[in-house]
Amino acid sequence: MANPLFDGLFGRHSGKSTVFLHLPDGGTVTHAKFLETAARFANTLWDMGVRTGDRVAVQIAKSPEALAVYAACVQAGVIFLPLNTAYSAPEVSYFVENSGAKLLICDEANVDTLTPVAQAADAAIETLNGDGSGSFPEAAANQTTEFATVDRDGDDLAAFLYTSGTTGRSKGAMLTQTNLLSNSEVLVQEWRFTAEDVLLHALPIFHTHGLFVATNVTLLAGGSMIFLPKFDSDAMVERMPQATAMMGVPTFYTRLLDHPGFTRDLTRHMRLFVSGSAPLLAETHVTFEDRTGHRILERYGMTETNMNTSNPYDGERRAGTVGFPLPGVELKVTDPKTGDTVPDGEIGVIEVRGPNVFKGYWQMPEKTAEELRPDGFFITGDLGQIDADGYVHIVGRNKDLIISGGYNIYPKEIELLLDEQPGVLESAVIGVPHPDFGETVVAVLVPEKDGSPDLEGIKSSISGSLARFKQPREMVILPELPRNTMGKVQKNALRDQFGGLFTA
Ligand code: MLC
Ligand code: AMP
């Protein structure tokens, strides 16, 4: 027995004094030092009674120590559950309770608010701050730097990532060791990552893109990362000369293009720019190539599946497409009603199957059965078509989802909150084009008879329960919502009406 994910990502780096992380203050962390911290953390988890198969939820700032918690969990066979730092206490509460987490690690600034949340869920609470301080690293300080890696099977769970749903209830996607490792192996090959690579890393590490793509791929290749706490275009321009590759959401690229220091010279030595998590406008692709001479490599993935398709490293990277299915990934486009494959060139729902596809939603067998077919195909909810050359195009979504700056937002969750507000009869939440975030949230409210909703009051009321990025950037009032003959709200009509709010 062994622990394939730990062995693959971290095993062969133990004792190596090569640099793994370059930090904003000019400091570095070697692989050996990083793994010592991880082993200390794994011992600490064990001392705290956390065992293989238990869940550890973390809502912590991006830092080398935060990443070491991930490594510690993999080493101990503990299921890692990272949470967006923007989530409010009620949002965190749901994840901790639903996952049955044994331990919640949070920033000291949130410990007062989150202690009752942890208590209610019968979870312990510890702190870890962005500067590496906190009760968790304090408890780890005297631990040994050796931890006997726990044996795991490829089918064992490594992580839970929560993804919202069309009903408003978030679902915990269960990801196995094989899901994560197989995908990283394929991406290292396809994108030609090596130990020489230095990845400019500005993505958050609580989602697939920043953790399971950017970080895992670099680790597996034995390369290093310039580890920035968040995206900042000045810092990106400053550090790009030391990098060989970058991964980002489309907003990263549009913001870089707005920066006067982002020039052809600055990027001349770069090997690769990857974009994903949201559609990259063909216009951005073209402007980027005009400015830098580089063609962004666009790929397509999801929380439940990691990466499914990629434009080619060699060969044509085609703007407006997400390339070809990755080796080992089967992709078909089906009729949403019948599930039959549609002829090439026609639009349908994208389904994927392969070692990358998750095991199901935690304790939600019905939801799992709705989206994961018995034959292993996962129904992504994305609408696509395959062109004559085999390139996959994503043309829309069969799910009511907004993607803002790479973060997914499910309208239902916001509508449920808005419908409860005083003076509101009903609501519809839509995504409209936004120059910075790609899409942003607009709420349409219908007043109760003789009611007049207090928009400022509503904004402040929902701000306590919803992460800032989910809060509507604009609220408008309409006497009624447009509906079709079946009584279904016609969101397309609303998008037509309000689509120019941020771009006109
Ligand atoms: C921050 N804000 C957002 C936001 N991010 N609002 C909407 N959408 C977002 N994505 C809020 C802030 O709270 C702030 O609110 C205001 O917007 C402006 O803040 P900012 O300083 O501009 O935000 P910034 O820190 O720069 O963040 C923008 C961003 C960030 C694009 C850099 O959102 C980001 O790093 N996104 C990456 C998301 C990601 O990793 N997705 C991968 C998911 S995995 P106010 O009101 O206080 O001003 C996945 C699978 C796959 O999808 O295929 O990869
Ligand atoms: P998430 O649930 O956060 O993992 O987001 C996954 C969703 O992001 C997918 O189902 C797609 O709708 C979208 N997505 C990811 N990559 C791309 C891309 N390159 N182009 C268009 N949409 C994308």
Ligand 1: does its nearest atom lie under 6 Å from the Cβ of 406? yes
Partners of 428 in the beta sheet? Answer: 444
The distance of Cα 364 from the centroid of its chain, to the nearest Å, equals: 21
Beta strands in 34-121 (DSSP E): 55-59, 79-82, 103-106
List the domains of the chain with CATH numbers: 4-152 (3.40.50.12780), 198-397 (3.40.50.12780), 401-498 (3.30.300.30)
Cα 407 to ligand 1 centroid, rounded to whole Å: 7
Ligand 1: does its nearest atom lie under 6 Å from the Cβ of 469? yes
Ligand 1: does its nearest atom lie under 6 Å from the Cβ of 248? no
Burial of 397 (0-12, 13-18, 19+ CB in 10 A): middle
Which amino acid, residue 285? H
Q: For strand 360-361 and strand 348-353, is the pairing parallel, antiparallel, or unpaired?
A: unpaired
pTM confidence score = 0.97
Burial of 497 (0-12, 13-18, 19+ CB in 10 A): middle
- Residue of the CA atom closest to atom 13 of ligand 1: 468
Burial of 485 (0-12, 13-18, 19+ CB in 10 A): exposed
Cα 36 to ligand 1 centroid, rounded to whole Å: 32
The CA distance from 246 to 201, in Å, is 7
Reduce the secondary structure of 101-167 to three states and give it as a string.
CCEEEECHHHHHHHHHHHHHCCCEEEECCCCCCCHHHHHHCCCCCCCCCCCECCCCEEEEEEECCCC
| CA end-to-end span of the chain | 60
Ligand 1: does its nearest atom lie under 6 Å from the Cβ of 361? no
Task: Write out residues with Cβ below 6 Å of ligand 2.
Answer: 163, 208, 276-279, 298, 300-303, 322, 380, 382, 394, 397, 403, 408
The CA distance from 427 to 125, in Å, is 37
- Decide if 282 contacts 319 (C-beta within 8 A): yes
The CA distance from 303 to 76, in Å, is 23
38, two tokens: 């991880």
Q: pLDDT, tens digit, for every residue of 139-163?
A: 999 999 999 999 999 999 999 999 9
- Residue of the CA atom closest to atom 18 of ligand 1: 469
Among 65, 64, 43, 60, smallest CA distance to 150 is for 43
Q: pLDDT, tens digit, for every residue of 213-226?
A: 999 999 999 999 99
Q: pLDDT, tens digit, for every residue of 446-496?
A: 999 988 899 999 999 999 999 999 999 999 999 999 999 888 999 999 999
pLDDT at 87: 96
Q: pLDDT, tens digit, for every residue of 393-421?
A: 999 998 899 999 999 999 999 999 999 99
Q: pLDDT, tens digit, for every residue of 285-296?
A: 999 999 999 999
Ligand 1: does its nearest atom lie under 6 Å from the Cβ of 251? yes
Q: pLDDT, tens digit, for every residue of 275-317?
A: 999 999 999 999 999 999 999 999 999 999 999 999 999 999 9
- Residue of the CA atom closest to atom 28 of ligand 1: 405
Query: What proportion of the chain, given as a percentage, has pLDDT over 90?
Result: 95
Q: pLDDT, tens digit, for every residue of 228-266?
A: 999 999 999 999 999 999 999 999 999 999 999 999 999
Residue range 160-170: mean pLDDT, rounded = 84
